[in-house]
């Protein structure tokens, strides 16, 4: 089942309210689609000469 980003964000918000820890929802490609913490998008971090995947976690 594929869920929308809006539903993933709702799941994150509800789960974090219960467990008081960060929650990430990851799609079938392994990309974070919703998070309780702010992340830098992998798409914005692509280098001009290649495909660089980097995330910034604020823990």
Residues 6+ apart with CB under 8 A from 37: 22, 24, 57, 58, 59
Domain ranges of the chain: 5-45
pLDDT in tens, 2-46: 899 999 999 999 999 999 999 999 999 999 999 999 765 554 444
How far is C-alpha 51 from the chain's CA centre?
18
Residue of 47 and 10 predicted with greater confidence: 10
């Amino acid at each position: 089942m594929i869920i929308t980003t809006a539903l993933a964000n709702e799941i994150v918000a509800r789960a974090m309210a219960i467990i008081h820890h960060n929650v990430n929802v990851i799609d079938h490609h392994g990309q974070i689609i919703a998070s309780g913490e702010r992340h830098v998008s992998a798409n914005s971090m692509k280098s001009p000469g290649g495909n660089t995947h980097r995330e910034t976690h604020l823990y």
